[in-house]
Amino acid sequence: MKIKWLVIVLSVIISPTINAQGIEFFHGTWKEALEKARQENKLLFVDAFAKWCGPCKSMAKNVFTKEEVGKFFNENFINLKLDMEEMDGITFGHIYPVKAYPTLFFVDGDGKLVKRMVGGQTVDGLLALGADALKNIDRSDKYEKQYLEGDRSYQLLYDYVSALNAAGKPSLKISNDYLNSNPNITEDQRLTFLLEAATEADSKLFDQVLENKNKIILLTSSELFETKTKAACNKTVDKAIEFEMESLMTETFDKAKKAFPSDADIFVAEAKMKYFKIFKNEDKFMDAYRVLAKKGGKDPKTLKKITNDILSTYASNKKMMNDAAEYAEKAYKMDMEFESLTLYCRVLVLNNDLEKAISMVEKAKNIAAKLGQDTTNYDGMLRFLNSKKA
């Protein structure tokens, strides 16, 4: 009972964000991020911050790391953090002025400011802000009016389908109806439209995208092709989970291997993990995460995600918990982050290895002290762990 209570407190009090799969921020310049947003027909979300800003630090630690925030922002935006006192931030500020920190921007792919908010946000506040920003770009009603009036021009249909997709509304029927009408368009237009229209892997439109893969990549880019086809495959995996259709998921794997062969193994393992975790198939879940750990084990985020999935569902399974200890240790040694150390200590405590957890924290504290870093978090964790000794 003492160990169970220790784990609960360690996970909730010491590191409340450890289970979170938060916002994934783009690595690159703001102009590169804006171009990516334009290509993917998404808004660019910019966290304009300063290193010394207290509310900025609080959001980075307590808001951006939350799972619900990450899921919403990763699906709907290209996300970018900009230090406004660094060169890239300064150039951004010439176009989008900042008077206080943090300032949060939502910018469309053409560079038009959609929404701006000054000040730190709570989880609920940031989610509401993001949802409001998305509402501001739902242009599907405008295109729908023209569509219902009989306009079947290529540009109108492309813009209409893109707007529906951006707003998360169904578009497959409209796309199919348009292409089945044999419109008078060029081959390049047809292929470009196909890539935007194929939002689900279990569709004839997606099959046509695969048939014309090389041509579409030449017209667009390999990055955009991979982004769009992965999104379609993920949507079909979600459908397979919704309707408990493992066969549909398996069919999607075959298409993924054709669409993005270099990343297909990781996609398959992640999808299987997701599916078999939900339906509590321990053996297949274990097989899936072990493949993922092998294929994506050089990325600490992947190892931490596997560990968190094990902890959330199979903490009583000794084999899995041994794997979790291995993955958490590797992840911590890769990034040496306090969050990773906390995750590793949680696993050690659950595996009845309190002494090793204390030893790991002591070593990490000594390293931080030698580097002149703040050791407050390590001191707090050590006091707590030592207080729970038998």
| 147 and 52 part of one domain | no
Look-up of token digits 């006091």: 383
| 47 and 117 part of one domain | yes
Q: How many domains does the chain have?
A: 2
Beta strands in the chain (DSSP E): 43-49, 77-83, 103-107, 113-118
What 299-302 contacts at long range (C-beta under 8 Å, 24+ apart), as own/partner pairs, is 300/330, 300/331, 300/332, 300/334, 300/335, 300/340, 301/331
Tens of pLDDT along 9-21? 555 444 444 444 7
Rounded mean pLDDT of 179-191? 97
Residue 116 lies in a domain: yes
* Final residue of a structural domain among 78, 106, 137: 137
Tens of pLDDT along 252-283? 999 999 999 999 999 999 999 999 999 999 99
Confidence of residue 3 (pLDDT cuts 50, 70, 90): low
- Residue 349 CB partners (closer than 8 Å, separation 6+): 3, 6, 7, 10, 357, 385
pLDDT of res. 373: 84
Closest CA to 120 of 52, 43, 66, 57: 57
Q: Greatest CA span in the chain, whole angstroms? A: 79
Domain of 149, in residue numbers = 139-184
pLDDT of res. 21: 72
| 126 and 38 part of one domain | yes
| 39 and 96 part of one domain | yes
| 106 and 25 part of one domain | yes
| 97 and 179 part of one domain | no
| 133 and 177 part of one domain | no
| 143 and 129 part of one domain | no
Structure tokens at 262: 């270099």
Average pLDDT along the chain: 91
Pick the more confident residue, 256 or 142.
256
Q: What is the CATH number of the domain that holds 97?
A: 3.40.30.10
- Residue 134 CB partners (closer than 8 Å, separation 6+): 43, 76, 166, 167
Structure tokens at 7: 């784990």
| 88 and 126 part of one domain | yes
CB atoms within 10 A of CB 345: 30
Residue 85 lies in a domain: yes
- 0.75 cut: is pTM over it? no
Say how far apart CA 371 and CA 382 lie, in whole Å: 19
Residue 212 lies in a domain: no
Tens of pLDDT along 290-337? 999 999 989 998 999 999 999 999 999 999 999 999 999 999 999 888
Q: What angle do CA 191, 196, 202 make, to 5 degrees?
A: 95
Pick the more confident residue, 257 or 123.
257
Share of the chain above pLDDT 90, in %: 77
Tens of pLDDT along 72-106? 999 889 999 999 999 999 999 999 999 999 999 99
Residue 260 lies in a domain: no
| 24 and 131 part of one domain | yes
pLDDT of res. 211: 98
Say how far apart CA 307 and CA 315 lie, in whole Å: 10
Say how far apart CA 194 and CA 219 lie, in whole Å: 12
Question: Which H helix or E strand runs over 22?
Answer: none
Residue 26 lies in a domain: yes
Residue 221 lies in a domain: no
Say how far apart CA 123 and CA 126 lie, in whole Å: 5
pLDDT of res. 292: 98
Structure tokens at 97: 């002025």
Residue 388 lies in a domain: no
| 150 and 85 part of one domain | no
Tens of pLDDT along 199-217? 999 999 999 999 999 999 9
pLDDT of res. 15: 44
| 144 and 55 part of one domain | no
pLDDT of res. 240: 97
Residue 156 lies in a domain: yes
Phi, psi of 44, deg, nearest 5: -95, 120
Decide if pLDDT at 107 tops 50: yes
**What's the Rg (C-alpha) of the chain?**
24
Phi-psi region of 294 (alpha: psi -120 to 50; beta: other; left: phi over 0): alpha
